[in-house]
Structure 1
Amino acid sequence: MYSILCRSTRYMLVSLLLSSSLYSFGQSAESVSGLVQPFDNYRKQTLQEKLFVHTDQSFYLIGENLWFKVYYVDGSFHKPLDVSKVAYLELLDSEQKSVLQTKVSLAANAGNGSVFLPASLQSGTYRLRAYTNWMKNFGSDFFFEKRLTIVNPFKPLGLPLLKDTPDYDIQFFPEGGNLVQGLSSKVAFKVVNPSGQGVAVRGWVLNGQNDTLSRFTAQKFGIGTFLFTPTEGTTYRVLIRDEKGRMVTRPLPAVQPQGYTMQLTDAGADQLKITVSSNSSSPSTVYLFAHTRQVIKAAEARTIQREATFLLDKKALGEGVSHLTIFDANRQPVCERLYFKRPTQQLTLDLKSDHPQYVSRAKVSIDASVLAPATKSSQAALSMAVYRIDSLAQANSGSILSYLWMTSDLQGTIESPEYYLQPETPEIAQATDNLMLTHGWRRFRWNDVLSPATRQPLLQFIPEVNGPIVQGTVTDPVSGKPMPDIQTYLSTPGKPVRLYVSRSDSAGRIKFEMQDFYGPKNLILQTNPTDSLAKLTISNPFVDAPPAPKLPDVAINETLSDQLVNRSVAMQVQSTYWGDRAIQYTYPVVDSAAFYGRPSESYLLDAYTRFPRMEEVLREYVLGVMPRKRQDHFRLNVINGPYRTVFENPALVLVDGVPIFDMDKIIDFSPLKIKQLDVVTNFYYMSPALFSGIISFMTYKGDLAGFPLDPRLVKLEYDGLQLERQFYSPRYDSAKQLSSRLPDARTLLYWNPNLQTNAQGKGHIEFYTSDQPGTYLVEVNGLTKEGIAGSQQVRFEVKNRLE
């Protein structure tokens, strides 16, 4: 465990390097250092990670595969990271229950895989989320999330069409955070229907006497603003009317008797004006603190007596979402709002197909080019999906570009995030600012930054810098209290021989850093029963989902039933005729040697005389092992090779990598079931344990061959990293293949998570169409090593081939 902690400090070095960007500002008072220094310290101690998951599409039927690519970047600068090596992916249903889970290797700053959607899934909207072990320290708000629609055509949908109801979700967001008595405020509002889509409404702000104080109209996606000045002792409500004339009433947030408000406006083309207002007549000090993804951009102080003004150069802010926070004289945050600076650092991708239209089973050639990377290199790592779109299956919502620059730094679901990154118009600029008012959120708590007690937060989950870390606990079986300083052993029986050792910390926690840990495994966890009778448990590496708003139901209109039947038949045809060919895996190259490396002695027992008892085998030709019997029990000691003396302490004895502490069981076990015997005739250090030699018995199949294990140990099935499944796409480059009567019902024509452009920024792809006519979308996401992201789409048509 200690070696894990030492190696994991590598993330600290990465954090320090990433934090080296300089910020420049005029410190109008020395006291701003009371904000700057704690913030800088916190940032250096808490590396921020981001994951983006590109899925092949967003609409699926059960029986299909969900293919994905995971992009892994630093949260501040979006450059590919090389810290965490494992990503956790889950599919959550509408009740926030995890129905599918998998782990993916991030060995090359990215990872990819697939998930089969079983028939047990119900039709509905699901939430795909992804995170690393390190990200678990900061809460699920940091995780990547994406909505997917999955339909089970073999079960009644049980999903009513969306009702024509005015039961909207209506929320109000005063600029800066609060309504304050006697201070004018801009109030943003958001009105969405049960499906999460914005609703066009009109509204009125009313006081207790039903007097109209303000009128407003929703703009893009049901979001808008109005101005309002609350007075003392008055309650307020809002009356909203939709386009069908239906009325809904909601109360406004409570009015604070004392406090601050803030207002952000343009002060010309190059500056922002931040006006801070207070209903206190006493002079005081307020601070403006601005950062872009935790990179400090400005820190200033002003004296306030009713009002104070800050001017901020737009060029001082980073691209994307910036946080502007106002602190009072006690350095407590009192107001905050977001500002979005349109990114200029975009990866411009060009996709060109050789034809706009194809017939079935025709070759498609697509050139993918990086035209304007705005970077030192034209090389980019891309992922590409080609799938049919129709009234059921729409284009994916949310690209890597919109996620990194916007969605990942905002709270809640963003409807059509690509809209905000279009060429700017007054309408888009206004909609973007409204979005900043209604989706405010930050990736930390100010109390963690400024409070001395939490300035160095306790990080329970270390980054998995070499591979999966299996965690567990050691507790007293009677009291349930943690048991510290207990040595534990974790084995994965099989070939090659693997053993891991960990000593419990003060909280009873144990950690095992796994090597070449792919596919489903049997784990065996134990202590030496002569030393401890502790209760051992293995922790679930996946995080319980917190309460969340219910996901919208799936409404399938009767007019789309033919399309649903067609898609269902296509899925079944593919499964029946192509299933075996489509299930192919890429197996990683792993170290085939046992954990102890090359042994001092190795015996293939079939090359020797086969004795019926294990004691005879050990005494007759195993030179490095000395069997001894004391008080009617056997002990196995190893001869210290360099000194030709017998180790005083017993050796570590293994069967297929599982430690065995009862030597009588070894002696009684049939040697005919053992294929190989290795002996290490010197001290072997395996942090935190030191062994007086190793005696390793290996069965023919690596399955313990019925060896009687201690019934008190913990044995369970545990999934390692996912084996990479190969995407299968048939070829029709001969007359025989073209005329094959084998049906081809693919609606996903192509998936490539690892499309790499060359030094000139060029990439080329070829694949074949299927027997399914329709409109197909080519969708590409990509990232350069400098962290420049981009996405692009192009469409083509497929017609039936004329016989």
Structure 2
Amino acid sequence: MMGLISFDTPVQESVQIKNILGKLLLYSKNERPEKTYLQTDKDFYTNGETIWFKTYLVDGIDHRASDKSKVVYVELIDSQGNVLERRKQYVGNLGAEGEIQLDQKLEQGEYTLRAYTKYMLNEEEPVFFEKKIPIWMQQMTKGDVAGIPQNSTNARVTDVVDEKEGVSKTKVRFFPEGGQLVTGMSSKLGLEVIDGQGNGLALQGTIVDQDGNVAANFNSGEFGLGVVNLKPLPGKTYYARLNGESNGNEFELPRSMEEGYLLNVTDRGEYILVQLATNLSDGLQGALLLGHLRGEVFLKQVVNGYGTKEHAVKIYPDQLKEGVAQFTLFTAKGEPVSERLFFVENPDQRASLSMDTDRKSYGTRDRVQVDLALADSEGNALEGEFSMSVVSNNALSSEYSGDIRSWLLLDSDVGATVPDAGYFFRDASQDRKQLLDALMLTHGWRRFTWPELLNQKTSKKLRFPPEKGITISGRTVNYYNNNKFGRSLASLTLMGEDLVYDKDSTDNNGRFSFGNFYFQDSVDAILQAEGFGKRPKALDILLDAPYPENMPAPRKIQYRETRHVEPNNDYMANAYRQKVADFTFDPDKVTLLDEATVTGVKTNPRDVRNRILTEQMDAEMTTGLFSDRIHADSIQGTQTLSAMDLLRYSRYSFKRGITSVNAGTGALYLVDGVVAGPDFVSSMRANEIQFVDIVTGPDATLWGSRGAGGVIAFYTKKGIYLGDETKDVPGIINTKIVGFNKVREFYTPNYSVDRKEHEKPDYRSTLFWEPNIMLKKEGDNKLEFFTGDSPGKYLIKMEGLTNDGIPVSHTVEIEVDSSN
């Protein structure tokens, strides 16, 4: 008879057990993963529209704000794996707002929106948040702008997902609970019935032995998932047959082992029952049963008693967080032999979000007021960060209805599961619970494997440390041979709103890194490298890419219930009407199909550069800033002189070897506005120079402490530096550094005020988008917006997290009636 005991029984820890617990503790303390999530205003779009989104970044264990990364990358990827748009976002607390303006000429198809941090790339198989987004092409002609036919969308929509030729064979797969079947012992198996393209199939069938004797009947339900019990007998091989299959296909089940272990987990309502069993002669003596939820241990128990063949544990879920738990059975030697995932549900760990509108029905261009409240299961007020979209109900699709709860609590820990993971969070029915358990039986833990974790000697050095801001990094190498590198002195000048200067020695491999910075858009930057020694060699600077490189392709959809993604006609019609309105009131916003092609004379970049350089000189260097100016063309014999020799013609006294204008520190050298070293200046010929400006005294303070020794500025006839153009100059590069993306403000009209702009028809499918909602325990948590000109039903969808890491998603419906 199995004994039932609580899960807090003291553990008698052996060396092997201490190693297991120690490695898991190390993981939860030092190697905590990160998770991202994106809420978009809609689930699909047409060309020219804007994807408004909120990126959430959380700790992968407790789902609170991550204390590691502050930088998130968001990418829009086409069906061929090409990254079309990138956004770099700074996450201050839990999230950051963003937007992607879709090109008017974007090809129709299915795209992927992906969010990740560099820190996630340390995982062998990173789990990125990815959302599939269909985008339809709508083309306009000049004849359409006069008015749109009432029953036509002019969208010319074709299928986003192409139908593959031929009919793929049905596949049936079985997954023994705990990982193995043992002869003579009853086991539970998860099953999955899919077609060759990964679509789940609801079918019935039987399990027979090699002699055709029926051992069990089974059926698959939603997503092709199901559960069946089987007690394999000695010498028997088992096969599955599908009812109604005319081709007589049989699918072999996993072979049973003569000796082994069973791990069974059952939801008994009030508690979770975990049962262990074995037919080995030594029994379960010294075995460790370990349970963790996202890396945090909630169960550790050693089985005592030689020859013990069965053992059971009660676990009360009201003491646990919600999410995917992993149970693992280890032998006394520390070898993992059985494993089982189980989804823990605990209503006490949930938060409720209420969105009370002042009415349920509104007229067109009517004001809508929403009262917001966030509370725990006992009604106590909570605080959190949220985002909200208000869209027509035809702009959201059930096929893409996974939300922040289903992603953080389920998919992010076991990988993409089903096309609609939100299905498992909609109600508390027994059928839904059984299907969720079948899903757990057919999937494995994705965050780590036990062999990998246990064989790890110490904390591994991270290839991708967490980013706290914008980092400018790279390597200094030999100018003539980039395979040679060594220590040097690297310096950085950022010419943003504030002038930033920093310098540091590289490591022995020439690596340098500056940061962490915060700025939006892009800023001009100058990097310089100087070698050590009396005769330093010319150096080149190789910058690291501003975005992660060699990224994996978006994951393929394992399940796909719908072969075609069909657009909603009402949505497409309103999207087209909005394009017509946009063109009528703002012609530059929409591209017509037969627009004229503008041609012109190609401009020579060097002419532009010289013109701007001259303008810069006239604007900045002829206002008395310089203390002395040397015109090279007024000096004879410049063919035989170096650029440095021109200084002899200054009214200041320069001697060979003396590089300071003022006594003390050395002068700052500039070549066409770029900081340069004296070695580089000495390598230039005087006949390359247009003129030299020398700045001393108080005027030199414009360059800060670097100008304390004076500034000597050489201006060449060609003009080396201009804007973001990078010129190949030894020891110097000038470039633009990509900053964080600046986000446009979502247009929210106030129709209670008469304005000229309100003459424009309003057929927007997204009426309201607010990415930064901070709910407080006290205060006025209210929002308001106005409806547009399109009647129909609209959804107010709000997602986010409480400050203590509970994901929340809630949707309410309102109606817009033009007769109101």
Alignment TM-score > 0.5, same fold: yes
Tell me which amino acid in the other structure corresponds to 1:157. T
Structure-2 separation of matches of 1:161 and 1:679: 69
Structure-2 separation of matches of 1:417 and 1:233: 40
Structure-2 separation of matches of 1:295 and 1:606: 67
Displacement of 1:310: 3.4
Is the 8 Å Cα contact of residues 680 and 695 (structure 1) preserved in structure 2?
A: no
Q: Which aligned pairs between 1:383-402 and structure 2 lie closer than 5 A?
A: 383-390=387-394, 393-394=397-398, 397-402=401-406
**Residue segments in structure 1 that go unaligned for 5+ positions in a row:** 1-22, 584-602, 685-690
Is the 8 Å Cα contact of residues 473 and 509 (structure 1) preserved in structure 2?
A: yes
Counterpart residue number, 1:225: 227
Alignment deviations for residues 692-738 of structure 1 (CA, whole Å, 9 cap, x no partner): 97859799999469997617866666532111221012222245669
Structure-2 separation of matches of 1:312 and 1:654: 76
Residue aligned with 2:23, SS = helix
- 2:319 pairs with 1:325: no
- 2:582 pairs with 1:538: no
* Counterpart selection for 1:796 from 804, 808, 814: 814
Structure-2 separation of matches of 1:56 and 1:179: 47
Counterpart residue number, 1:444: 448
Tell me which amino acid in the other structure corresponds to 1:462. P
Name the larger-Rg structure: 2
Is the 8 Å Cα contact of residues 138 and 576 (structure 2) preserved in structure 1?
A: no
Structure-2 separation of matches of 1:608 and 1:476: 37
Structure-2 separation of matches of 1:150 and 1:459: 38
Tell me which amino acid in the other structure corresponds to 1:796. I
Q: Which aligned pairs between 1:730-745 and structure 2 lie closer than 5 A?
A: 730-734=749-753, 741-745=759-763
Displacement of 1:339: 2.0
Displacement of 1:69: 1.0
Counterpart residue number, 1:14: none
* Counterpart selection for 2:187 from 185, 189, 192: 185
CA 1:680–1:168: 2 relative to 1, 3 Å: farther
Tell me which amino acid in the other structure corresponds to 1:340. F
Structure-2 separation of matches of 1:299 and 1:339: 16
* Counterpart selection for 1:366 from 364, 370, 375: 370
Structure-1 separation of matches of 2:109 and 2:250: 30
CA 1:48–1:562: 2 relative to 1, 3 Å: closer
Residue aligned with 1:368, SS = strand
Residue aligned with 2:189, SS = strand
CA-based RMSD of the aligned residues comes to 4.5
Q: Which aligned pairs between 1:612-651 and structure 2 lie closer than 5 A?
A: 612-613=629-630, 629-630=656-657, 636-637=659-660, 639=662, 644-647=663-666, 651=668
Structure-1 separation of matches of 2:238 and 2:174: 12
Structure-1 separation of matches of 2:549 and 2:267: 45
Is the 8 Å Cα contact of residues 203 and 215 (structure 1) preserved in structure 2?
A: yes
Is the 8 Å Cα contact of residues 240 and 253 (structure 2) preserved in structure 1?
A: yes
CA 1:196–1:568: 2 relative to 1, 3 Å: farther
Displacement of 1:208: 4.0
Is the 8 Å Cα contact of residues 327 and 335 (structure 1) preserved in structure 2?
A: yes
Residue aligned with 2:499, SS = coil
Q: Which aligned pairs between 1:254-653 and structure 2 lie closer than 5 A?
A: 259-266=260-267, 269-278=270-279, 285-302=286-303, 305=307, 307-315=309-317, 317-343=320-346, 344-372=348-376, 378-390=382-394, 393-394=397-398, 397-453=401-457, 455-465=458-468, 467-473=469-475, 483-490=485-492, 492=494, 496-499=498-501, 501=503, 503-505=505-507, 509-521=511-523, 527-528=529-530, 530-533=536-539, 536-539=542-545, 540-542=547-549, 544-546=551-553, 548-549=555-556, 562-563=569-570, 565-573=572-580, 575-576=582-583, 606-608=623-625, 612-613=629-630, 629-630=656-657, 636-637=659-660, 639=662, 644-647=663-666, 651=668
Residue aligned with 2:623, SS = helix
Tell me which amino acid in the other structure corresponds to 2:417. T
Kindly indicate which of the two structures has a greater share of residues assigned to strand. 1
Is the 8 Å Cα contact of residues 319 and 340 (structure 1) preserved in structure 2?
A: yes
| TM-score under structure 1 length normalisation | 0.79
Structure-2 separation of matches of 1:100 and 1:795: 33
Displacement of 1:776: 0.9
CA 1:446–1:382: 2 relative to 1, 3 Å: same
Which range is displaced more, 67-76 or 421-430?
421-430
Alignment deviations for residues 80-129 of structure 1 (CA, whole Å, 9 cap, x no partner): 23442211112233444433221111123321111122245443333322
Displacement of 1:40: 1.3
Tell me which amino acid in the other structure corresponds to 2:435. A
Counterpart residue number, 2:597: none
Counterpart residue number, 1:35: 20
Counterpart residue number, 1:723: 742
CA 1:129–1:542: 2 relative to 1, 3 Å: farther
Structure-2 separation of matches of 1:477 and 1:67: 45
Is the 8 Å Cα contact of residues 491 and 523 (structure 1) preserved in structure 2?
A: yes
Query: Percent same amino acid at aligned positions?
Result: 25
Structure-2 separation of matches of 1:386 and 1:150: 19
Counterpart residue number, 2:37: 52
Counterpart residue number, 1:777: 795
* Counterpart selection for 2:46 from 58, 61, 64: 61
Displacement of 1:340: 2.0
Is the 8 Å Cα contact of residues 500 and 513 (structure 1) preserved in structure 2?
A: no
Residue aligned with 1:141, SS = coil
Structure-1 separation of matches of 2:714 and 2:379: 54
Displacement of 1:393: 4.6
CA 1:726–1:336: 2 relative to 1, 3 Å: same
Residue aligned with 1:173, SS = strand
CA 1:106–1:452: 2 relative to 1, 3 Å: closer
Alignment deviations for residues 2-53 of structure 1 (CA, whole Å, 9 cap, x no partner): xxxxxxxxxxxxxxxxxxxxx9651044453232223212322213322222
* Counterpart selection for 1:80 from 56, 61, 65: 65
Is the 8 Å Cα contact of residues 375 and 788 (structure 1) preserved in structure 2?
A: no
**Residue segments in structure 2 that go unaligned for 5+ positions in a row:** 1-6, 140-155, 591-619, 635-643
Which range is displaced more, 468-477 or 718-727?
468-477
Is the 8 Å Cα contact of residues 671 and 720 (structure 2) preserved in structure 1?
A: no
Displacement of 1:473: 4.5
| TM-score under structure 2 length normalisation | 0.77
Is the 8 Å Cα contact of residues 90 and 128 (structure 1) preserved in structure 2?
A: yes
Structure-2 separation of matches of 1:436 and 1:477: 57
Is the 8 Å Cα contact of residues 166 and 246 (structure 1) preserved in structure 2?
A: no
Which range is displaced more, 124-133 or 487-496?
487-496
CA 1:383–1:562: 2 relative to 1, 3 Å: closer
Q: Which aligned pairs between 1:759-778 and structure 2 lie closer than 5 A?
A: 759-760=777-778, 762-778=780-796
Structure-2 separation of matches of 1:318 and 1:326: 21
Structure-2 separation of matches of 1:410 and 1:705: 44
Tell me which amino acid in the other structure corresponds to 1:527. A
Tell me which amino acid in the other structure corresponds to 1:791. S
Is the 8 Å Cα contact of residues 494 and 656 (structure 1) preserved in structure 2?
A: no
Is the 8 Å Cα contact of residues 279 and 309 (structure 2) preserved in structure 1?
A: yes
CA 1:84–1:327: 2 relative to 1, 3 Å: same
Displacement of 1:165: 4.7
Is the 8 Å Cα contact of residues 379 and 760 (structure 1) preserved in structure 2?
A: no
Displacement of 1:382: 1.9
Structure-2 separation of matches of 1:536 and 1:426: 60
* Counterpart selection for 2:130 from 127, 133, 145: 145
